[in-house]
Structure 1
Amino acid sequence: MNCGCADVVTPGLLDLFDARARMIAAARPVAGRERLTLGNAAGRVLAEEVRALLDMPGVDNSAMDGYALRLSDLAAAPDGLPVAQRLPAGAGVTHLPTGGCARIFTGAPVPRGADAVVPQERVKVDGQGRVHLAGAVAHGANIRWRGEEHRAGDVVLEAGAPLTAAAIALLAGQGIAEVEVHRRLRVALLATGDELIEPGQAWTPGAVYNSNGAMLRALIAGQGCEILDLGIAADRADDLGQCLARARDEADLVVCTGGISVGEEDHVRPVLERLGGIAFHGVAMKPGKPFALGYLGDSLRHGTPLIGLPGNPVASLVGWQWLALPLVQGCQGRTPPPLQRFSVTAGFSRPAPRGRRELLRVVLDWTGGAPVARLAGGQGSHMLGAASQAHGYLIIDADTPVEEGHAYGYCPGAQFLD
């Protein structure tokens, strides 16, 4: 697992955001679709747009428990309005008699002729059962108007939308029972290194547990992908070549961790060049410099893309979140969302990163009322403790020192789980 992540200035590295743009541009949606019931569609990606079958809401309805009335009747009735109707949710559409009001409950259709709903908290009912209102009420108050969210025929979800719980509820509310989705992206996962052993095996001096494999399985599965787990490949070109050939033939995308740098025991690059090619190698980011995008086959466009992640676990995590994830999303048929970034004050000082943009793992301290970024722990590319606790990343430009009290770009970590 010789990743070559030493803090040295390396010429010719690709800018982080240029690399991200190239990853997005390289994505090709997976071929193949299937039709699923909503109950089986969670986490999948829509393959076609979906249009509303109904106006939403379908009728004017009440947003409150209260009383539906005409404002003109209210103004003309100083002694209050009699309750002429009682309308629970599920009732049909009625007509409001002139000079009366309706007891109405949340979700019930507003009777024709009513132009406001008064919450029950603002109403007093006298001994004769007449309703009195304290204060004024605006026209249309507390009425959900028919079609105010969308009309029948409107696009409610675009092709490429992930089917979240809210999206599924939106479709269910339209009476839609089935959707067309992209088939699952099949991702081959491979770790390299003679030193690696799997969790549960007996440890010996010099052995390293394959934390990257466990981490990446969780990350890939979290995106709704099917995983072809190729395990651990030894640091030998022939073993690695056999694994990559299988991945080329059986998967849509390959994620390989370790062995991607330029050391004598780093075999991924030469094997990849023999079986395909490299689109780019080396990104000006810390951690994660040895990141690579390659392909197995004739070209990046027509072959099987390969993501080469560094062997150090935090570098691998950062490479996945910032660079690999948008390619995966694009291959699923999704449009990768733009990165969320805003300014946060640093609660610490730190020397400038040399020649690379540094992504510091931080937590946000809100005790003063405004967020202050504090280091989540050790920032070494092998230190998973800080990565496991971090709320997000403080983005430090190359050759820029961190000064306590100054503001820097912050990127919340939660967005990388979407």
Structure 2
Amino acid sequence: MRSKIPHHWKWLPFESLLSEPLRNGIYKKKEFHGRGTPIINMGELFGYPRFDGSCELKRVELTEKELDKNQLVCGDLIFARRSLTAEGAGKCSIIRKLSEPTGFESSIIRARLDQTKADPEYFYYLFNSPFGKWLLGTILRQVAVSGITGSDLAKLEVPVPPLNEQSLIAKQAISIDDKVAINTSINQSLEQMAQAIFKSWFVDFDPVKAKMNGEQPEGMDTVTASLFPEKLVESELGLIPDGWNIESIKDFGNVICGKTPSKKNADFYGGDVPFIKIPDTHGKVFITETSDTLTKAGDESQPKKRIPENSICVSCIATVGQVFITTKPSHTNQQINSVVPYDQNSLYYLLFKFKGLNKHFHDLASGGSATLNMNTSTFSKVALVRPTADVLEAFHKTVGGLMEKMLANQLENTTLSELRDTLLPKLLSGEIELGTSEELVEAI
């Protein structure tokens, strides 16, 4: 690895770049929680890698001395000191903005760089690149949980360009992440728009109620309005539009519980078939990439578990209620139940219906067990309102453009993320030069 850095860069111990020693966060007993100083926990470290103060933080009562020792400032890097998974250990985030004095908890290591030597943004991107994760993996310790220690991190030798080059590299990576953030924000707005239409049609029954009052449904053309009945009737799920039915999830499509192909067979993994696990699904409506893939042999080892493009999936064990749509023929692990719709016009209806059933799914998965588990049989029997086929078709067409734009933005984000993740390794290896990489990013 060391031979693959430009000749004018240096390998230096991480501690030589710090303005003060690495520090673990503070632990406080439960009686001190719920008031006082906002504190960053592991959830924020993983959920907000470029922390900008936009989320609500838990609070802990800290003395002035404790806050002085455990306060974060803009530019600080924070690392996950331990994690249940090897992938999570050493996860690095950067503090970009804080609205008030903020501390950090004991599972986190704080690194405060000497900014006359080191640009924090460069090192944030270094530690989040495949090369940086490999570096952190060299100090990973695995006992009961995976983790890194401050002493090992301090001694870790890292590639250090001149300060001006650090800033140029960081600037390019930031420009990519900013484009990703814009796309993500647009997708959130698009999803909210589709969700609002779903709620109006299928939760509040606004078109039906308008017609009951002799009014034209607001914002709806006469052809679409004609598809809705003029009264509500009683059902086992409460009032529903006349002519609509109550059916089980299994009546909407073939329900398939995933399965993990044998890990003992190396020939099953590393191909082109997505193998979806719950960590691949967080914050996504469409699954466009996965951390694990199957080969043709892995795919064919369990043909009954294969799900096609435009299947709708729900996580049902441990993390319950993640809902997403496949974009390629795929497999999932056993924590996910998938519905292969008999009618593709029900796809987006089921997506938003399942999202609205999150609490119900959690209740079904509780069952007195420490681990949430909604088995396939229970999931399959959940009762849903089935609108008429023409209403489902109209909804699918109405929100289809929004959903297609969301998918396009998500695919673009995948491309941008791949560019960002390969930028530093290509610079390290000399495959591209700094000037060339600037032109590459500008061309996006």
Classify the TM-score, shorter chain.
Answer: under 0.3
Question: What TM-score do you get using the length of structure 1 for normalisation?
Answer: 0.20
Q: Which structure is higher in strand share?
A: 1
Query: Which of structures 1 and 2 has the larger relative contact order (alpha carbons within 8 angstroms, sep 6+)?
Result: 1
Name the TM-score, length of structure 2 as normaliser: 0.19
Q: Point out the structure with the larger helix share.
A: 2
Bigger Rg, which one:
1
